[in-house]
Amino acid sequence: MSRKKWRLNPLVAVLAALASLFFIFPLIGLVAGAPWGHITSVITSQTALQALELSIIASLSSTALALAFGFPLAWLLARGQFPGRGVLRSLTTLPMVLPPVVGGIALLLAYGRRGFIGRPLESATGITLPFSLAGVVVAESFVAMPFFVITVESGLRSMNRRLEDAARSLGASRRTVFLRVTLPLIWPSLAAGLVLTWARALGEFGATITFAGNLPGVTQTMPLAIYISQSSNMTDEAIALSLILVLVSLVVMVFRRDRSGAQ
C-alpha cells in the first residue's frame, strides 16, 4: 500500500515563510549596514579586541563552571528523591525567566562588598567579585547555568535506564556504567547544554553590567562594548562588533549541528 504524498498547507507555508523572514531580515540589515570599507580597522581596535578576549574568557569559564557544578545538580534533580525537589528545580531555573537586571541586583545583595556572602568573603580572603573579571564570570554563570541544568536533566530523565541496570547485572562498576553507558546516551543533551550555556553567557548583558560594571579592559564584554558604541553614536563600531558575535555564534551552532548529525 503506497503512502499518500504529503502536501503542504498553503496557509502553513505562508505563515512559516513570514516567521522565517522575521528572523532573517534583521541579519540582512546587519550585513547591509556594516562598514565594509573600514571594518578591519574597527574590529582590530584595542577596545574591540579587549572586549572579545574578555567575552571568550568569561563565557568559556562560565561554561566550565556549568559542567563542574551544573552536572551534579542536574543529576540530583533527575535521579534524586527528596522533599522539595520541585522547589529546588524552580529556584535553580528561575534565572532563565528572571530579568537579567534583577539578577544583577540579587547578585549584588548576595555577593557584593556589602552582601551577606560578599562581606565575609572579602574579610576572609580579600576577594571582591563586583567590578572584576570574576564578577563577570559569576554574573554569566548565574544566567547561563540553568540552561545547562535543565537540558542535561531532561537527557537523564529520557534515557533508557534499563541499559544501566543491564550493565550492572553483568558486573560493571558504577564508574564503568557511567563512562560506557550513561555518558554516551546523554551526550547529545550534554553537548546541547554546553552550547546553550556558552551562547547565553556570550550574549549576557543585564546582570553583567549591574553586578560587574562596564570597565574597559576589565569587565567590558562584547555586548557591553556594543551598547556603549551605539549609545555614543559610533554606529559603525556597534555594527562591526555585532557581526563578530553573530559570526562566532553561527559557527558554533553549525558545528554543533554537524556533530549531532542533525538533518
Residues 83-110: pLDDT tens digits? 999 999 999 999 999 999 999 999 999 9
Contacts 24+ apart (CB under 8 A), 31-36: 31/243, 33/235, 33/239, 34/239, 34/240, 34/243, 35/236, 35/239, 35/240
CA–CA distance, 21 with 208 (Å, rounded to integer) = 31
Length of the chain: 263
Residue 25 has pLDDT above 50, yes or no: yes
Q: Report pTM.
A: 0.88
Q: At CB < 8 A and 24+ separation, what contacts does 68-77 make?
A: 69/145, 70/145, 70/148, 70/149, 70/152, 70/193, 70/197, 71/148, 71/152, 71/190, 73/149, 74/148, 74/149, 74/150, 74/152, 74/153, 74/156, 75/152, 75/156, 77/149, 77/153
Residues 6+ apart with CB under 8 A from 236: 35, 38, 42
Per-residue pLDDT at 263: 42
Measured between alpha carbons, how far is 104 from 126 in angstroms, rounded to an integer? 21
Written as nine digits, the cell of 115 is 552582601
At 47, the pLDDT band (50, 70, 90 cuts) reads confident
- What average pLDDT does the structure give for the chain? 90
Distance CA 40, CA 238 (A): 13
Domains of the chain: 36-258 (1.10.3720.10)
The answer to whether 151 and 193 have CB atoms below 8 angstroms apart is yes
Mean pLDDT, rounded, for 169-184: 91
Phi, psi of 5 (to 5 degrees): -70, 130
Task: Read off the C-alpha cell for 185.
Answer: 546516551
Q: Is the pLDDT of residue 176 over 90?
A: yes
Residue 262 confidence (pLDDT): 47
* Of 8 and 136, more confident: 136
C-beta of residue 118 within 8 angstroms of C-beta of residue 165 = no
Confidence at residue 258, expressed as pLDDT on a 0 to 100 scale:
57
